Structure 1
Amino acid sequence: MRISKVYSWFYGYYPWMVVFATTLVLFGSLSKSNSNQDEVPLKASKFQKPLRLPNKGYGYPPVLAYWISGSKGDSNKMVRLLKAIYHPRNQYLLQLDSGSSDYERENLGFLIESETVLQTFGNVNVEGKSYAVNKMGSSALAATLHAAALLLKINSDWDWFIPLSASSYPLMNQDDLLHAFTFLPRELNFIDYISNPGWKQRGEINRIVVDPNLYYKSNTPINYDVETRKPDAFEIFGGSPWVILSRSFMEFCIYGWDNIPRKLLMYFTNVAYPLETYFHTVICNSFEFQNTTLSNDLRYDIIPKSPKPKILNTSKYGEIVAGESVFAQPIQEDDPLLNMIDEDVLHRMPDNFVPGSWSSCQGINQGEDLCYR
């Protein structure tokens, strides 16, 4: 029944110095992923078995690359989310920003290391380094691009990039999701967007923004500067900051063989909420990718009308599970809503992984293809 909902998604588918200086900092932060000084995230344990690549090709499910990000106090939430979306075929990268302590980051690695299943399949990585991130500024965009670059460096044989926050939670098990995605074009991008981001009724798109988190170690509020004119060399699109993007499009944004991603990266370095506009504008202004979009982010999310965030709770349960969404957010840690989803939708026992077709592989020959299907 969940799978039939998935198919409904596809109906109808076919000042200047300041600016310059800040842009240079952003490029510097992104280039770290290609420098010798940058460390590829280490496996949670040095005793983990070598990564076995899942079978790919016609008839095989795709490989999903998940990035789970969090901040201070989010370690347990991230582990619970990981267990709810885990599958041996997929790749996972967990990262805490500088709002967290060294102890929290070490503890996150310990929690991952203590799970025998994760050691067996070796497809979960924890980023040991941290940096400041402000969701309103370009540091959040830099973090997202960096995460995708790391996942490409670890293993580029994945099909879709899915960023999640520690407050996200799945509304579908991975077996069903992978099965549904098996029949989709691998270049398809799930990105909710419209032209002219006046949909937010914000003035930030017309103002210069400086994000100090690009050059400070600690999380810092962003700064606004003088107003500027709207661009006329490209059309701006905006929408949900939550996306599911194809590997080919992420490579296009990171490697930048066309000038559009670089040009727009420099522009959105100094725009507020770039995660709500950057990918949307790049994809809609790129001839190669503008026809690969499905305007749906597959998320059940509340967009607050005030700065105070709104949290999902049990009062929304019926509406949440009845829709076509694959993920819901934000949900507080240990909220009863999580237990309801675990019991009724995912059939997940407390502190366990969601059962799936791969579950029988635990304790037997992990070389069998069944584990990776």
Structure 2
Amino acid sequence: MWLIILLLPFVPDLLHVFSSAPRDLNFIDHTSDLGWKEYHRVQPIVVDPEIYLARRSQIFYGRERRKTPESFKFFTGSPWVILSRSFLEFCILGWDNLPRTLLLYFTNTVIPQEGYFHSVVCNSPQFQNTTVSSDLRYMEWDNPPQMEPHFLNLSDYGRIASSGLPFARQFRKDDPVLDKIDAKILGRRSRQVVPGGWCTGSGRLWMDRCSLWGDLTIVKPSPRAEKFGKVMKKLLADWRSRSSSCK
């Protein structure tokens, strides 16, 4: 079992940092340089068995392949995305045929979550310059890279803590590094929630700070938000310096 971990103490840190960014930005790690994915991910035709089977099994590959599309540019990247409301409304309400057309195409694509939103946003004149190419996750890849990043452990803790990123993956269940993240980064005690500005308890050793609630809407960033703020500032500077954020 693998886990994705939030490295910020509760939601206020996220709200605090994201409030400094334009609301229409989409954080999508993306590229049009397909490399090996063109043959192994783009061209195969697949059928998801969930469409017609009660029990999910492995996807079925068609005997034929299809050419890399020419009517739109295929983008790929991380499946972990943070999308703006305006872009999601564009995809859902469908006032343009692009999201629906690409949805039909990606229905028969291997791992469509690594390409659908990336291709929609970068082929839309309205949204193609709203992309920040980052999934805001700390990961460690083997050399050469494998299909998945390796499982993080105690030896990775220093790099995780200094990264300033709000998320990290992947972890094994009950790995000791999770206890260290709880104690050192999140300030979470055993069997207690991550404390936030809404906690009004005394915080003594025998008392849970969050056993008493204050204003649940309060946004009180922790020191960890400062590190994430520096990461966000650099990402926004890189985004503003480019003539086009879809490459």
TM-score (norm 1): 0.51
Count the aligned residue pairs: 206
- Contact 1:209/1:271 (8 A) holds in 2: yes
| SS of the residue 1:245 aligns to | coil
- Structure 2: how far apart are the matches of 1:321 and 1:252? 36
- Distance in 2, matches of 1:308 and 1:245, equals 23
CA–CA distance in 2 between the matches of 1:300 and 1:221?
A: 29
Q: 2:194 aligns with which of 354, 364, 369?
A: 354
What are structure 1's unaligned runs of at least 5 residues? 1-73, 75-165
For 1:168, give the aligned amino acid: I
Counterpart-to-counterpart distance in 2, 1:241 and 1:282: 14
Does 1:211 find its partner at 2:48? yes
Q: Hey, what does 2:118 align to over in structure 1? A: 280
Q: Hey, what's the Cα distance between the residues in 2 that align with 1:326 and 1:261?
A: 29
Q: What corresponds to 2:29 in structure 1? A: 192
- Tell me the TM-score normalized by structure 2: 0.76
Where in structure 2 are there 5+ consecutive unaligned residues? 202-209, 219-247
| Letter in structure 2 aligned against 1:167 | L
> Are 2:151 and 1:311 aligned?
yes
SS of 1:266's equivalent in the other structure is helix
Aligned counterparts of 2:127 and 2:74: Cα–Cα separation in 1: 15
Instruction: Look up the match of 1:223.
Output: 60
Superposed CA RMSD in Å reads 2.2
Aligned to 1:133: none
2:139 touches 2:149 (CA, 8 Å); kept in 1? no
What is the identity percentage for the equivalent residue pairs of Structure 1 and Structure 2?
Answer: 46
Q: Is the 8 A contact 1:211 1:223 kept in 2?
A: yes
Secondary structure of the 1:168 match is strand
Equivalent runs, 1:54-73 vs 2, <5 Å = none
Deviation for aligned residue 1:282: 0.4
Correspondences of 1:140-289 after superposition (within 5 Å) = 167-173=3-9, 174-198=11-35, 200=37, 202-225=39-62, 226-289=64-127
> 2: CA distance between counterparts of 1:341 and 1:359?
20
Mapped to 1, the partners of 2:148 and 2:4 lie a distance apart of 18
* Cα offset, 1:256, TM superposition: 1.5
Post-superposition Cα deviations, 1:119-154, rounded to whole Å, max 9, x if no partner, equal xxxxxxxxxxxxxxxxxxxxxxxxxxxxxxxxxxxx
Per the alignment, residue 205 of structure 2 pairs with none
What secondary structure, in the 3-state scheme, does the structure 2 residue paired with 1:213 have?
helix
**Whose relative contact order is higher, 1 or 2, with alpha carbons under 8 Å and at least 6 apart?**
2
